[in-house]
């Protein structure tokens, strides 16, 4: 029997917006979330601010969640996971387990909004020494500090003075099987660089990149202001390795990408890794019609960038 209900898998930003839109169009939505609360990655990883309005992440996610939980056309199931899917478009049978109780749902359409996972730079490769050096951290580590307005070096509790962002960590790398671009890392690095300069005005921030790929509003609202207003330095260079140096300094070795392709080194207090985002997937048997798009396939030419000399 054809069903008019829509099942949304995932209670993050995409799932919440999908449920709201279905309900506002007069449809019935069932939203399932594997955690005990909505909000997805921004909530789970304690994001500080979201682009492009620089809104507090917790405030924005609470507003999105309220638009769903307060709508009578949306049913939310927490601590729920999909076990199997059968049927065809217009008539799917989805077996789930919510709160330890098995349940069968009959829906006409399924929206897969399972979000993404951050690449673990320490597990896949130790070139970055993420698990070895306390002052080598990732964007999620930094987001928590920015949210608490307590940006300090883990090694000594002092504010960093010289900070290096390293782009494309785990992406565009054939050796570990990730050949695609995450699409969002460049914009997020620039956002975080601005926040660092706001919270630590006397710091020097450098972003080492292969290509700066800015999409939509990010170029004019984040990328150019980062350079022109906040004096963030963009250095075209590919990573090589991180080494420890006393007293409590990190030496970042990188390959300068220019006509000579020379290898250089930079002495910094802090190394911030911008890792790949990998789309989460459903680990269930599902019909051919029930598929999600392969993420991050589309790449466009990057905008022109200014190269700034690195201050040694």
CA dist 246 and 188 (Å) reads: 30
- Partners of 9 in the β-ladder: 32, 112
CA dist 281 and 222 (Å) reads: 31
CA dist 4 and 49 (Å) reads: 36
Upstream peptide bond of 52 is cis (omega within 30 degrees of 0) = yes
Can you give the pTM of this predicted structure?
A: 0.80
Q: What is the pLDDT of residue 261?
A: 57
**Average pLDDT of the chain, as a whole number:** 82
Domain spans of the chain, in order of start: 5-114, 118-278
Q: Which position has the higher pLDDT, 184 or 189?
A: 189
Whether 301 has a pLDDT exceeding 50, the answer reads no
Q: Tell me if domain 5-114 and domain 118-278 are identical in fold.
A: yes
Among 17-26, 107-116, 270-279, whose mean pLDDT is lowest? Answer: 270-279
Tell me the mean pLDDT in the region 58-66: 95
Spell out the residues 6+ positions from residue 206 whose beta carbon is closer than 8 angstroms to its own: 162, 163, 164, 165, 232, 233, 234, 235, 266, 268, 308, 310
Residues 158-187: tens digit of each pLDDT:
999 999 998 888 777 777 777 888 888 899
Identify whether the C-beta of residue 99 lies closer than 8 Å to the C-beta of residue 78.
Answer: yes
In percent, how much of the chain has pLDDT > 90? 51
What CATH code is assigned to 118-278?
Answer: 3.50.50.60
Q: Which CATH class is domain 5-114?
A: alpha beta
Residues 87-100: tens digit of each pLDDT:
998 999 999 999 99
Write the burial class of residue 130 (CB in 10 Å: 0-12 exposed, 13-18 middle, 19+ buried).
buried
Tell me the mean pLDDT in the region 93-121: 91
């Amino acid at each position: 029997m054809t069903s008019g209900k829509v099942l949304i898998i995932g209670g993050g930003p995409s799932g919440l917006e999908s449920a709201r839109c279905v309900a506002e169009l007069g449809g019935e939505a069932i939203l399932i979330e594997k955690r005990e609360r909505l909000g997805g990655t921004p909530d789970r990883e304690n994001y500080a601010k979201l682009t492009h309005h620089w809104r507090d992440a917790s405030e924005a996610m609470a507003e999105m969640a309220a638009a769903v939980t307060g709508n009578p056309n949306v049913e939310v199931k927490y601590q729920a996971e999909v076990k199997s899917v059968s049927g065809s478009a217009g008539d799917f049978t989805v077996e789930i387990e919510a709160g330890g109780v098995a349940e069968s749902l009959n829906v006409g359409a399924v929206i897969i909004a399972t979000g993404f996972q951050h690449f673990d730079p320490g597990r896949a490769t130790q070139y970055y020494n993420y698990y070895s050096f306390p002052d080598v951290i990732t964007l999620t580590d930094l987001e928590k500090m920015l949210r608490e307005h307590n940006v300090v070096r883990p090694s000594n509790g002092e504010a960093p003075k010289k900070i290096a962002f390293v782009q494309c960590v785990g992406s565009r790398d054939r050796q570990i099987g990730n050949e695609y671009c995450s699409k969002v890392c460049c914009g997020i690095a620039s956002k975080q660089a601005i926040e660092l300069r706001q919270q630590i005005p006397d710091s020097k921030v450098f972003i080492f990149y292969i290509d700066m790929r800015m999409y939509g509003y990010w170029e004019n609202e984040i990328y150019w202001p980062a350079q022109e207003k906040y004096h963030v330095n963009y250095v075209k260079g590919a990573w090589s390795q991180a080494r420890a140096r006393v007293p409590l300094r990190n030496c970042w070795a990188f390959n300068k990408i220019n006509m000579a392709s020379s290898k250089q080194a930079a002495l910094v207090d802090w190394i911030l890794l911008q890792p790949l985002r990998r789309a989460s997937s459903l680990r269930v048997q599902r019909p051919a019609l029930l598929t999600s798009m392969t993420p991050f396939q589309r790449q466009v030419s990057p905008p022109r960038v200014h190269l700034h000399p690195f201050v040694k």
